[in-house]
Amino acid sequence: MSDIVNLHRHRKRIAREEAEQNAAARRLQFGRTKAQRAAEAAAELRKEKSLDGHRRVREDET
């Protein structure tokens, strides 16, 4: 004899599994690791410091 299955729960479980698979695929496609985010932030900081270091200040602006 087979088990009785609540179809509403079964459909919800299937929907959750499909959503998780979709989320996993999107994480692989668009996600960045913590190290990648930190490296990007460090590069942005270096760029800003470099630009500020090359800034010229005219004598009449001081």
pLDDT in tens, 28-44: 888 888 899 999 999 99
* Residue 60 per-residue DSSP state: G
Residue type, 49: K
Q: pTM for the complete prediction? A: 0.49
19-32: average pLDDT: 92
Consecutive H or E run containing 15:
helix 7-30
**Which is more confident, 23 or 56?**
23
1: pLDDT strictly greater than 90:
no
User: What pLDDT score was predicted for residue 8?
Assistant: 96
49: pLDDT strictly greater than 80:
yes
